Amino acid sequence: MSSSFSTTDLNVRNQRNERLFKLLFGLITATLILPVVIIIGTLIVKSEGTLTWAFFTEDPTNGMTEGGIFPALVGTLWLVAVALIASVPLGVAAAIYLSEYAKDNWLTRLINLAIINLAGVPSIVHALFGVGAFVLFFNFGTSILAASLTMAVMTLPVVIVSTRESLQAVPQSFREACWSMGATRWQTIWRIVLPNSISGILTGVILEVSRTVGETAPIMFTGAAFFLPFLPSSVFDQTMAMSLHLYVISTQVPHVPEGLPYGVALTLILIVMVLNSVSIAFRTYLRGKKKW
Amino acid sequence: MASKQPRRLAIESKGLSLWYGDFQALFDVDLKIREGKITSLIGPSGCGKSTFLRSINRINERHSYVRTEGTVEVFGEDVMGEDVELVQVRRQVGMVFQRPNALPISIADNVMFGYELHTAAKPSRFERDNLIEESLKRVLLWDQVKDRLGDVATSLSLEEQQKLCIARLLPLKPSVLLMDEPCSALDPKATAAVEDLIWELRGEYSILIVTHNMAQARRASDECIFMLMGKVIEHTKTEDMFLTPENQATADYIEGRYG
Ligand SMILES: Nc1ncnc2c1ncn2[C@@H]1O[C@H](COP(=O)(O)OP(=O)(O)O)[C@@H](O)[C@H]1O
Ligand SMILES: [Mg+2]
């Protein structure tokens, strides 16, 4: 006689299924990670020797087949910085309005729908909008300003959505506590909601930056130049940019040494990875300090 | 406000009806809450107790679909009147919530939060320290927290947080305190402690307290109101309600024959 705790056929079958699904999902996950590993591995191997100090600090020379990426690096910093200056205040303000002031009516729902749809617009369409609006209509010409504003419009929905989520993560009971003591909306936002959501908002902003760094389409027609070995002196100048530079030396310029595009690509990925790590570290740090 | 003439009405609602969209939550509620007393409000879940409380400090208004009829007066003044400043209503009508909602700032800042909202000049160091000590002593919390006033209030136990939530109302010198099941998130020992505190405040403040706990209502209130489905069924002295309820529904409820 078997005891009441011994294995039945059904147990055996369930355990077999258990192992099977664990293996299956594990394998699928592994295949997903694989491309990332291969990409980064290839970049490291193929860019061998290109990432020197001079690579980051010198101008490209000899038809962009030699020298460094200094103007593109600086140009990307300009583009990202100006885009941030434009999109963060607007996006955060809009998110505060939507989360803290707007009543839940058809207009608010329409605005939310518009934001979601805006996030789905392909970047090349944003590029064309940027040409029409900023380059031509506002007459900024092809310039850092036009390119950055185009990127700002493109990333606005992301900033709005991530900021709104951070604001919503602050428990409603805190707001009620404030209101019930006679705090206005703004006093509540300023003294309680913002201090407790700023970490999430900043994390969102950093992620936005990392996305902006790699964008090519929206700056291609609006302000990024193929080859311009000078640093911009104002936002009305054109500039080189990392993403476009990579595109140009990989497809448009003959006789580029093989290591060069890989070096540029690796640099781009490194910038993004550093930013993402900062963002994750930040979030982890602040989660540890969470006060409720 | 202990010096006020007794026998005034702290809260008086006349014909108060309230709708959430199409759903009517309050039906023609007429209530008189006496000054300096503790009045408990009982009734099954969903009968409109919180809704009634929330119409007094008008915190219901943030839902655009809420509509009210009738009036609510606090010490004879209509809280919904034309030229009423909402912020002043809330200053004078303090509210304690079901879940302690101490703010995620320091204990000291919690006590000063409301006060600072309503005071143009920054209080002096001396005034500030005094207010904090006085308020925390009043809620029997001073001894536990006096050495860590700078700590974040949300690190306190629930009992301490709920006491703090009462303490932070005191510097505003409210004329009425509304408490919506203030002990329901607390364990029995903490409940007893907070109950004792509420009893302590009796006389000095007019208190309207919602509770699910019959024993609490019986122990700790002067008058008792029983509500059912948005209507007031009975309002008498607490001892009368528990000894000789007039209404069959009241009797059923206090004997636990209701949900
Ligand atoms: N914000 C709201 N929107 C719609 N209906 C609500 C809202 N708040 C409460 N109600 C409804 O009003 C009725 C009374 O609720 P409430 O006052 O919270 O009851 P109680 O506090 O007595 O349990 C319930 O039927 C509830 O579903
Ligand atoms: Mg309730």
* Average pLDDT over every residue of B93-115: 95
Whole-number mean pLDDT of chain A? Answer: 90
- Give the ligand with the smallest distance to the CA of B259: 1
What are the structure tokens assigned to B104, written together?
């995620």
Residue B68 near residue B18 (C-beta atoms within 8 A): yes
A186 and A222 share one domain:
yes
Q: Which residues fall within 8 angstroms of residue A46, CB to CB, at 6 or more apart?
A: A258, A259, A262
Report percent pLDDT > 90 for chain B.
71
Strands A66-67 and A60-61: antiparallel
Across the interface, whether the CB atoms of B114 and A182 are under 8 A apart is answered yes
State whether A192 and B105 contact (CB < 8 Å): yes
If you count residue pairs, one on A and one on B, with CB atoms under 8 Å apart, how many are there? 65
* Strand, helix or coil for residue B160: helix
Q: How far is B84 from chain A (nearest CA, A)?
A: 13
What is the per-residue pLDDT for B7?
65
**pLDDT value at B12 more than 90:** yes
Residue B3 has pLDDT above 60, yes or no: no
Amino acid at B125: R
Nearest partner of B238 among B213, B212, B255, B219, judged by Cα: B219
Q: Indicate whether A3 belongs to any domain.
A: no
Shared domain for A28 and A107, answered yes or no, is: no
Do residue A20 and residue A127 come from a single domain?
no
Residues A227 and A258 both lie in one domain: yes
Within a domain: residue A1? no
Helix, strand, coil % (nearest 5) of chain B? Answer: 40, 25, 35
| Whether A182 and A222 share a structural domain | yes
Distance from the Cα of A282 to chain B's closest Cα (Å) equals: 20
- Predicted local confidence at residue A119, as pLDDT: 87
Q: What is the pTM of this model?
A: 0.85
Token reading at A218: 């929206």
Mean pLDDT of A209-233: 87
Average pLDDT over residues A190-206: 90
Instruction: State the average pLDDT over residues A22-28.
Output: 96
- Per-residue pLDDT, B30: 95
Q: Rounded mean pLDDT of B232-236?
A: 93
Residue A64's SS3 state is coil
Token pair for B210: 């919602």
pLDDT one-digit tens code per residue, B120-133: 888 899 999 999 99
Please tell me the distance between residue B3's alpha carbon and the centre of ligand 2 in angstroms: 32
pLDDT band at A292 (very low <50, low <70, confident <90, very high): low
> Same domain for A201 and A178?
yes
Could you read off the pLDDT of B169-227 as tens digits, one per residue? 999 999 999 999 999 888 888 898 888 889 889 889 999 999 988 888 888 899 999 99
Q: Which domain holds residue A40?
A: 8-46
pLDDT digits (tens, 9 = 90+) for A34-48: 999 999 999 999 988
Which parts of chain A are beta strand (E)? Answer: 60-61, 66-67
Same domain, A89 and A31: no
Q: Give the Cα separation of A178 and A187 in Å (integer).
A: 8
CATH of domain B9-101+175-254: 3.40.50.300
Cα–Cα distance for residue pair A146/A135, rounded to 1 Å: 6
Q: What mean pLDDT comes out for the span B22-41?
A: 95
**Residues A34-88: pLDDT tens digits?**
999 999 999 999 988 888 888 888 888 888 788 889 999 999 999 999 999 999 9
Higher pLDDT, A24 or A1: A24
CATH assignment at residue A205: 1.10.3720.10
Domain count, chain A: 2
Q: B232 has which bridge partners?
A: B227
My answer on whether A25 and A166 are in the same domain is no
User: What does the pLDDT read at residue B1?
Assistant: 47
A69 φ, ψ (degrees, to nearest 5) = -125, 20
B94/A181 Cβ within 8 A: yes
Q: Quick check: A173 contacting B, CB < 8 Å?
A: yes
- In sequence order, what are the residues at sequence separation of 6 or more whose Cβ sits closer than 8 angstroms to the Cβ of residue A202? A282
**What are the sequence ranges of the domains in chain B?**
9-101+175-254
Q: What is the ipTM score, two decimals?
A: 0.90
Contact B39, B241 (CB under 8 A): no
| Structure confidence at residue B48 as a pLDDT band (50, 70, 90) | very high
Query: Is the domain of A183 the same as that of A202?
Result: yes
Residue B144: burial class (beta carbons within 10 Å; 0-12, 13-18, 19+): middle
Residues A24 and A169 in one domain: no
Strand residues in B38-163 grouped as ranges (E): 38-42, 66-74, 77-78, 93-96
Ligand closest to B180 (CA) is: 2
